[in-house]
Amino acid sequence: MAGEATLGSPARTARAAGLLYVGMMPFAIVALAIRASVLVPIVMRPEELTVLLTRRTAHLRSHSGQIAFPGGGAEPDDASAEATALREAREEIGLEPARVEVIGQLSDYHTRTGYRVTPVVGLVAPPFALALDAHEVDEAFEVPLTFLLDPANHLRHRREFQGRTVPFYAIPYRDYYIWGATAGMLVNLYRFLAQEGA
């Protein structure tokens, strides 16, 4: 990540290189994974930093109703993971790329559904307007970054997936249940920052 920032500043707090959380993912699945990117939008509110998240619509075939970062699969015209994340954020929630100051990326996150996701971290300075894609996004909301980075809020669970018991993280916030890949990437962000501050 380029640039300097002091510990506790918005840019320093938002920085992430992440610890890869793959679980028991077979190497062959990792190698053949579909490339995708998400934007991790950290909103620089005057009172505190927040993270902008979305709730997917209930009728979608995959991950319906789940909490997610704006993002999706890479397209041939995308020049980079950053380009994919910014394009998807514009398409899904109407966040213009010019409103985002990209500060770096987390390590790729491999999902058990076959995706290799690059989280692109960006700072968003208010005010900004959103225009949600009603087909994909039911709502957009913000969660305090301090809440998401508090390890007391990182709950570890297990579930059955394709005949195996697999672990996953959940970070419940009010009426929102943040879990799976989104929670895992947030836990990776916490781990990196905790390691850097040790």
CATH of residue 121's domain is 3.90.79.10
Q: Is residue 86 part of a domain?
A: yes
Q: Is residue 5 part of a domain?
A: no
Average pLDDT over residues 169-178: 96
Q: Is residue 108 part of a domain?
A: yes
Q: Which domain holds residue 191?
A: 10-197
Overall number of domains in the chain: 1
Cα dihedral 56, 60, 62, 65, rounded to 10, equals 30
Contact (Cβ atoms closer than 8 angstroms) between residue 95 and residue 131: no
Output 123 or 63, whichever has higher pLDDT: 123
pLDDT for the residue numbered 14? 39
Q: What is the mean pLDDT of the chain?
A: 83
Q: Rounded distance, CA 121 to CA 98, Å?
A: 14
Q: Is residue 2 part of a domain?
A: no
Average pLDDT over residues 49-72: 86
Which residue type is seen at 8?
A: G
Q: How confident is the model at residue 28 (pLDDT cuts 50, 70, 90)?
A: very low
**Would you give the DSSP letter of residue 160?**
E
Residue 147 has pLDDT above 90, yes or no: yes
